[in-house]
């Protein structure tokens, strides 16, 4: 009876399992349960903890949920921070709320803009020393955000070791309707500097500094400040030395980093922030300067006044040729813009060095509920293909090496861990996986009929990168006559060797037994038994050496 119940229970469990498998919704890889993918952006910056991987949303009777996934978790250190700003146009009217142009450089703002009515701001520091989430409301009357409209800390999932930030907001608090919302997201991931409150005196000048990212023209300048090692990820954002100089017209900044600055910023901006207290008085405001370290660098100048929530910053200028990076990062600020001259002392505070800021989407805005499939911006890829040798002889076993590289088309960066399939005339013959973008496939013991064959390497693409392929031709020539003879005789080689050995032995034996011309009786001396054994041993060794020679000859023919 007990056995019967066990059997019935197992059957029930099996049925339930099958039903769950059939009716469980299929999720995007890594997709949080019950969430809907809204946007799957391309890579912007190849530092996993800084770059956004996907945006998901869901809602229920009372709550609206946002889930922003990154490629990696924020490192557990006080030097790292992550901020997320979600601008919501809940009435879908760009004439109310904060006007945000969501167009790109070629767009028309009056056709593609957002009127942000509510703003969710969330913050997390890598060591969890600070974290918060608040909801702000836009005041059309005051023309500004009303600060903390509601605290959302208890409604947010913010913690070190997580590769996402999740937050929910009550629908009533944001005036959510069944029509849904328009929204866009700003993500800012930063590597902070250690204490950089330093002073600099405008005195002796260094002439002929060229802003080119190379330190040679700084001569024997002494660093204004040197930092101890901190093992920052990525190393290109760990500053080791800061230099400041002037030439009488400009104030120059140079940053030496642990890793060579790169051009891996494909979307968004990597920023350096410098605050300068021009009158050395903390109570009279600051001037802020930020430099974009993406290739095609530029510097913008802002004047900031006020304190706390009343602080306002206004752009007062900019330059597209005042910053550059190669082995170091450099930029300059006109002294006239600062109102500084020889002998004056300025306070310098460097903040947020290496802050990667990205708007999602890059242009336009997102909508929830979405009436279309999740927006996916696929990165184009480029696949190369080389084959060696490209000409072979038919019906002769040959190893062919197929190599190439898979890269992101726009920037030429190799893609690792991607599967490349190899085809001959449309039929797959094997596959391999890329390492740092490179791949290698060995096609062994190839035996083909005479003719031309199309060899194709193909990357099938994935959720982030588009498919690509490359083709080349393998030419198979007629096999040489000697190769055909060798191929025919190869199975008979052992038998031939045995026959030749037997013939050689017989010839030696006959030569020894052949009657010789009789010698005079007095000259004949019968051989001793020992001497006969020595002669036999000599013959045996000679036969073995001849067999080895035959083997070498046959191997030579095969090659």
Integer-rounded Cα radius of gyration of the chain: 39
Taking alpha carbons only, the member of 353, 382, 361 closest to residue 293 is: 353
Q: What is the mean pLDDT of residues 518-540?
A: 63
**Residue 385: CB partners within 8 Å, gap ≥ 6?**
402, 403, 404, 455, 456, 457, 470, 471, 472
Q: Which residue has the higher pLDDT, 379 or 151?
A: 151
Report residue 318's pLDDT band, with 50, 70 and 90 as the boundaries: low
CB 44 within 8 A of CB 268: yes
Half-sphere exposure of 481 (CA within 13 A, CB side): 0
Residue environment code for 401-422, b if the CB has 16+ CB neighbours within 10 A, otherwise e? ebbbbbbbeeeebebeebebbb
Q: Where are the domains of the chain?
A: 34-190, 194-353, 379-475
Q: For 143-157, 203-217, 314-328, which range has the lowest pLDDT when averaged over its residues?
A: 314-328
Which pTM does this prediction carry?
A: 0.59
Residue 249's CB: how many other CB atoms inside 10 A?
Answer: 10
CATH number of 34-190: 2.60.40
Right CATH number for 379-475 from 3.30.1360.10, 3.10.580.20, 2.60.40.10, 3.40.50.300? 2.60.40.10
pLDDT tens per residue across span 69-125: 999 999 998 889 999 999 999 998 888 888 877 654 444 444 467 889 999 999 999
Fold: same for 34-190 and 379-475 = yes
- The percent of residues in the chain predicted with pLDDT above 70, rounded, is 70
Mean predicted lDDT score pLDDT of the chain: 75
Give me the phi and psi of 76, to 5 degrees please. Answer: -85, 75
Q: How many CA atoms lie within 13 A of 518 on its CB side?
A: 3
Q: Strand, helix or coil at 330? A: strand
Q: Helix 529-558 crosses helix 493-513 at what angle (to 10 degrees)? A: 150
Measured between alpha carbons, how far is 179 from 436 in angstroms, rounded to an integer? 46
214 by DSSP, 3-state: which?
A: coil
Can you list the pairs that 506-509 forms with residues at least 24 positions away whose Cβ atoms lie under 8 Å? 508/539, 508/542, 508/543
Distance CA 128, CA 158 (A): 9
What is the secondary structure of 368-420 as a DSSP string? Answer: ES-SSSPEE-PBPEEE--EEESSEEETTS-EEEEEEEEEEETTT--B--S-EE
pLDDT grade for 510, boundaries at 50, 70 and 90: low
């Amino acid at each position: 009876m007990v056995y019967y119940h066990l059997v019935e229970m197992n059957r029930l469990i099996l049925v339930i399992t099958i039903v769950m498998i059939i009716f469980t919704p299929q999720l995007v890889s890594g997709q949080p349960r019950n969430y809907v993918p809204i946007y799957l952006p391309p890579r912007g910056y190849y530092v996993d903890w800084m770059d956004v991987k996907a945006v998901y949303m869901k809602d229920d009777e009372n709550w609206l949920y946002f889930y922003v996934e990154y490629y990696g978790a924020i490192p557990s250190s006080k030097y790292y921070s992550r901020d997320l700003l979600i601008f919501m146009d809940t009435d879908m009217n760009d004439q109310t709320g904060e006007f945000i142009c969501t167009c790109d450089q070629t767009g028309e703002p009056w056709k593609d803009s957002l009127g942000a009515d509510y703003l969710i701001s969330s913050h997390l520091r890598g060591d969890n020393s600070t974290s918060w989430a608040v909801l702000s409301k836009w005041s059309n009357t005051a023309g500004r955000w009303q600060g903390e409209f509601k605290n959302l800390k208890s409604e947010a999932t913010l913690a070190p070791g997580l590769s996402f930030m999740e937050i929910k907001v009550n629908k009533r608090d944001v005036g959510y309707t069944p029509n849904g919302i328009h929204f866009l997201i700003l993500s800012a991931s930063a590597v902070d500097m250690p204490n950089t409150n330093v002073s600099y005196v405008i005195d002796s000048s260094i002439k002929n500094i060229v802003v080119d990212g190379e330190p040679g023209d700084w001569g024997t300048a002494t660093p204004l400040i040197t930092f101890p090692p901190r093992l920052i990820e990525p190393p290109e954002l760990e500053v080791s030395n800061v230099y400041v100089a002037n030439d009488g017209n400009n104030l120059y900044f140079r940053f030496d980093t642990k890793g060579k600055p790169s051009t891996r910023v494909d979307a968004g901006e990597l920023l350096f922030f410098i605050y300068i207290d021009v009158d050395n008085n903390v109570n009279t405001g600051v001037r802020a300067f930020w430099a974009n370290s993406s290739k095609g660098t530029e510097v913008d100048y802002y004047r900031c006044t006020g304190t706390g929530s009343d602080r306002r910053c206004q752009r007062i200028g900019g330059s597209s040729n005042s910053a550059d990076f190669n082995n170091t990062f450099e930029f300059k600020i006109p002294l006239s813009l600062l109102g500084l001259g020889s002998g004056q002392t300025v306070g310098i505070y460097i903040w947020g060095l290496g802050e990667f800021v990205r708007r999602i989407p890059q242009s336009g805005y997102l909508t929830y509920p979405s009436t279309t499939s999740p927006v996916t911006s696929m990165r184009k890829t480029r696949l190369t293909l080389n084959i060696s040798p490209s000409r072979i002889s038919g019906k002769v076993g040959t190893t062919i090496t197929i190599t190439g590289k898979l890269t992101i088309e726009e920037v030429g960066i190799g893609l690792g861990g991607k599967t490349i399939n190899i085809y001959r005339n449309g039929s797959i013959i094997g596959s391999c996986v890329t390492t740092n973008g490179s791949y290698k496939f060995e096609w062994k013991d190839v035996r083909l009929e005479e003719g031309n064959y199309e060899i194709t390497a193909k990357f099938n693409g994935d959720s982030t990168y588009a498919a690509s392929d490359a083709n080349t031709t393998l030419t198979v020539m007629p096999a040489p006559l000697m190769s055909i003879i060798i191929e025919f005789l190869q199975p008979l080689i052992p038998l031939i060797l045995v026959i030749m050995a037997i013939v050689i032995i017989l010839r030696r034996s006959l030569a020894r037994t052949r009657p010789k011309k009789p010698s005079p009786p007095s000259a004949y001396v019968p051989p001793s038994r020992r001497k006969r054994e020595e002669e036999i041993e000599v013959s045996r060794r000679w036969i073995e050496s001849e067999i080895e020679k035959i083997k070498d000859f046959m191997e030579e023919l095969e090659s």
